[in-house]
Amino acid sequence: MSDNKRVTDEEALLLHSSGRPGKLEITPTKPLTTQRDLALAYSPGVAVPCLRIAEDPSLAYDYTAKGNLVAIISNGTAVLGLGDLGALAGKPVMEGKAVLFKRFADVDGIDLEVDTRDVDEFVNCVRFLGPTFGGINLEDIKAPDCFIIEERLRELLDIPVFHDDQHGTAIIAAAGLINACDITGRNLKDIKMVVNGAGAAGIACAELFCTVGVSRENITLCDTKGVVYRGRTDGMNQWKSAFATDTDRRTLVEAVAGADVFVGLSAKGAMTQEMVKSMAPKPIIFALANPDPEITPEEVKAVRGDAIVATGRSDYPNQVNNVLGFPYLFRGALDVRATTINETMKVAAAKAIAALAREDVPDEVDAAYSGRRLRYGPEYIIPVPFDPRLIVTIPAAVAQAAMESGVARKPIVDLSAYRHTLRTRLDPTADSLELILEKVRTNPRRVVFAEGEEERTIRAAMSFRSAGYGTPVLIGREEVIKEQLAAMGQPNVTFEIHNARLSDANRRYSDHLYRRLQRKGALLRDCQRMVNQDRNVFAACMVAQGDAHAMVTGLTRSFGVAFEEVRRVIDAKASEPVFGLHLFITRNRTVFIADTTVHVRPDGATLADIAVGAAAKARQMGHEPRVALLSFSNFGQTPHPNTDPIREALAILDSRRVDFEYDGEMSADVALDYQLMKRVYPFSRLNGPANVLIMPGLHSANISAKLLSKMASGQMIGPLLIGLDKPAQIVSMGSSVNDIVTAAALAAHDSLPW
Catalytic residue list? 97
Residue 56, CB-side half-sphere exposure with 13 Å CA sphere:
8
Q: DSSP states of 630-683 as a string?
A: E-SSSTTSS--GGGHHHHHHHHHHHHHT-SSEEEEEE-HHHHH-HHHHHHH-TT
Backbone phi and psi for residue 226, each to the nearest 5 degrees, phi listed first: 110, -155
Binding-site positions read: 79-86, 139-140, 165, 290
How many whole angstroms separate alpha carbon 749 and alpha carbon 753? 9
CA distances from 362 to 60, 85, 442 (A): 39, 42, 17
281, HSE (Cβ side, Cα atoms, 13 Å)? 4
Q: How far apart are CA 173 and CA 387, in angstroms?
A: 18
Q: What single letter denotes the amino acid at residue 724? A: L
3-class DSSP assignment, residue 530:
helix
- Distance between CA atoms of 403 and 333, rounded to whole angstroms? 10
- The annotated binding site for a divalent metal cation is made up of 139-140, 165, 290
Q: How far apart are CA 370 and CA 252, in angstroms?
A: 38
Q: Are 192 and 260 in contact (CB under 8 A)?
A: yes
- The gap from C-alpha 305 to its chain's centroid, in whole angstroms, comes to 32
Length of the chain: 754
Q: Tell me which DSSP letter residue 228 carries.
A: -
> How many helices (H) does the chain have, and how many strands (E)?
31, 21
| Angstrom distance (rounded) from CA 742 to CA 23 | 19
Question: How would you classify residue 684: left for phi > 0, otherwise alpha for psi between -120 and 50, otherwise beta?
Answer: beta
Q: Which amino acid is at 237?
A: N
Amino acid found at 687: N
Q: Treating both helix axes as pointing N-terminal to C-terminal, what angle do 506-517 and 524-533 enclose, rounded to 10 degrees?
A: 130
E-strand ranges in 86-245 read 108-113, 135-138, 161-163, 193-196, 219-223, 226-227
Pairing of strands 219-223, 226-227: antiparallel
Question: Crossing angle, helix 200-212 and helix 164-183, to 10 degrees?
Answer: 50
- Cβ-based neighbours of 709, under 8 Å, separated by 6 or more: 582, 584, 716
Q: What backbone torsions phi and psi does residue 728 show, to the nearest 5 degrees?
A: -150, 140
- What residues are paired with 223 via a beta bridge? 226
Positive or negative torsion for Cα 196, 199, 202, 203: positive
DSSP state of 130: G
Taking a C-beta distance cutoff of 8 angstroms, is the pair 402, 410 a contact?
no
- Which H/E stretch holds residue 726? none
Q: Measured between alpha carbons, how far is 493 from 474 in angstroms, rounded to an integer?
A: 13
